[in-house]
Amino acid sequence: MSVKTNNIYGKIIITDKTIERFVSHVAMDCYGIVEFSSKNLIDSIISFLKFGSRVKGVKVRSNGDRIYIDLSVIVKYGVSIKAVVEALKESVKYRVERFTGMLVDTISVNVMGVMQ
């Protein structure tokens, strides 16, 4: 799927893969995020084989003018997981909405582990 909008300059289409890559860069700028993790075995195999161009640990779905984001992350040891996740959600929501001009409906964050 992709996000589509019209303005005075014409039609703009942003693919979900483009938004996934943008989200991965935004999330890695957040304090306390070490890396992304695959959510399940199938995602691990796909990312290992580099089948397709999916970003590991980031899944974006769009429906109309709404964007749904799922993140699977590994958090730095010793930080408040709740504070890191809330800051991550706020940062991703704000920057994706500015980037796309669309509304981010839901951001789900799965903390898959802790690493030093």
Residue 48, burial from CB neighbour count under 10 angstroms (0-12, 13-18, 19+):
exposed
Question: What global pTM score does this model have?
Answer: 0.82
Q: Which domain holds residue 28?
A: 2-115
Q: CATH no. for residue 20? A: 3.30.70.1350
- 12 confidence band (pLDDT: 50, 70, 90): confident
* Amino acid 98: pLDDT: 93
**Alpha carbons 101 and 76: distance in angstroms, whole number:** 31
Total domains in the chain come to 1
Give phi and psi for 48, each to the nearest 5. -65, -45
Tell me the pLDDT band of 29, cut-offs 50, 70 and 90.
Answer: very high
Burial of residue 99, with CB atoms counted within 10 A of its CB: 0-12 exposed, 13-18 middle, 19 or more buried: middle
